[in-house]
Amino acid sequence: MNPKFAEMNFKSLRTYVIEHQDDDEVFYAFVDRLKANLSSRVYPPPNTPENVAIMEQAILV
């Protein structure tokens, strides 16, 4: 990864990706950062009807 991409915060990197859509290197750097951030926000599937209803409400809001 290009060192300048590693130094950017997520918002700056996202803006750079949008402005330079033909730059594959920055796109892959962004996706790698996105995947690293999302891995900490994985939730298990609902296991009861009550949890299904809670999830449906959360998605619809």
Provide the domain count of the chain.
1
Consecutive 10-residue averages of pLDDT for the chain (61 residues): 82 92 92 80 85 89 64
DSSP string, the chain: --HHHHHS-HHHHHHHHHHTTT-HHHHHHHHHHHHHHHGGG--PPP-SHHHHHHHHHHHH-
Question: Model-level pTM?
Answer: 0.56
* Cβ contacts of 3-9, under 8 Å, gap ≥ 24: 5/29, 5/30
The answer to whether the beta carbons of residues 26 and 14 sit under 8 Å apart is: no
Domain range for 51: 3-60
What pLDDT is stored for residue 58 in this prediction?
86
What pLDDT is stored for residue 35 in this prediction?
84
